Amino acid sequence: MTKLASEIVVPFGLEPTFSERVWGRLSLAPWYLETGSSNPVGEAWLTGPESVIATGPDAGKMLAEVAEDFPLLVKMLFPSDKLSIQVHPDDEEAQALGQPRGKTECWYVLAAEAGAAVALGLKPGVLVEDLRHAGERTEELIEMVPVSVGDMVFVDAGTVHAIGPGVTLLEVQQTSDVTYRLYDYGRPRELHLEQGLAVTKTETRAGKVAARPMDGFVRLIEERYFVVDRFEAAGGKTVVPFAGIGCLVGLSGSGLVRTVAGDVPLVAGRAVVCPIGEVTVVGDGVGFVRCVAPE
């Protein structure tokens, strides 16, 4: 029987689900050596509804079969080309269209080449209607924000945005895949101009977020829909509390999430779903993030 996400009682690991994208990469090394595809892959969904459970009594089942309405969709993005210029609705707008929720997200920069940047928000003075006939000039209407390793970028719903090549990102977002493409650099994919313009906002809170040192970890972002913290486990055991539903994502090294029900591997590029309460991470030199949906 499917449980509510809040009813999860023991941690379990997930296998990533790889999504082919025209803007993706043929190789996702060093994060993943195999994707099962010979085409470019742009996304690894770490907590997607179809992600397969790798550990515990529910191994082999999909996340959606075990944890109904898991609130956070965590991905890794691997662009080799510009993504489309796009926008997402907020909760109210999405629900008016019959969707369960909108899509507010954040990007944590894991790798970045010199000159890497993201497009984020309309330039001052640009009106929503200016986008209607912009075509190839669309990018000229949007602010370009340089990014480097360790940056956290908040992308509020209603923010026109795009991700450029030369970066690897960890994306944490509301579990939603409602995306409206405004411009796609001539690629033969469907655009959603009218739907996108209807939810575009000229001003949002999108932008870089300054990290805050806390007691034993670094807070990367704290927003209504998600809180993301980075840990660097230097001792033998690290106690990690969960004040809401969420997961751990390995970034470097390897360790174990230890529970009374057994150990769950914590390795780079994979997620471990955790119950509300606390878990213990065992291992030295393991870097990971905690992603939580506040109660």
Residue type, 194: E
Calculate the dihedral angle through the C-alpha atoms of 219, 89, 140, 112, rounding to the nearest 10 degrees. 30
For 185-226, the DSSP string reads TT-SS---HHHHHHH--S--S-EEE--EE-SSSEEEEE-SS-
Residue whose tokens read 């969420």: 246
pLDDT tens digit sequence for 201-249: 999 999 999 999 999 999 999 999 999 999 998 778 999 999 999 999 9
The tokens of 183 are what? 């411009």
Rg of the chain in Å (alpha carbons) = 19
Residue whose tokens read 């595809």: 37
pLDDT reported for residue 116: 97
pLDDT tens digit sequence for 272-284: 999 999 999 999 8
What fold does the segment set 17-50+72-209 form as a domain?
A: Jelly Rolls (2.60.120)
CATH class of the domain at 212-293: mainly beta
pLDDT tens digit sequence for 142-168: 999 999 999 999 999 999 999 999 999
pTM for the model: 0.96
In the predicted model, what is the mean pLDDT of residues 180-192?
A: 96
Give the residue range(s) of CATH 2.60.120.10 domains in the chain.
17-50+72-209, 212-293
How far, in Å, are 55, 264, 287 from residue 260 at the CA level? 14, 11, 23
pLDDT tens digit sequence for 44-57: 999 999 999 999 99
Task: Check pLDDT > 80 for residue 2.
Answer: no
Q: What are phi and psi of 96, to 5 degrees?
A: -65, -20
In the predicted model, what is the mean pLDDT of residues 269-295?
A: 94
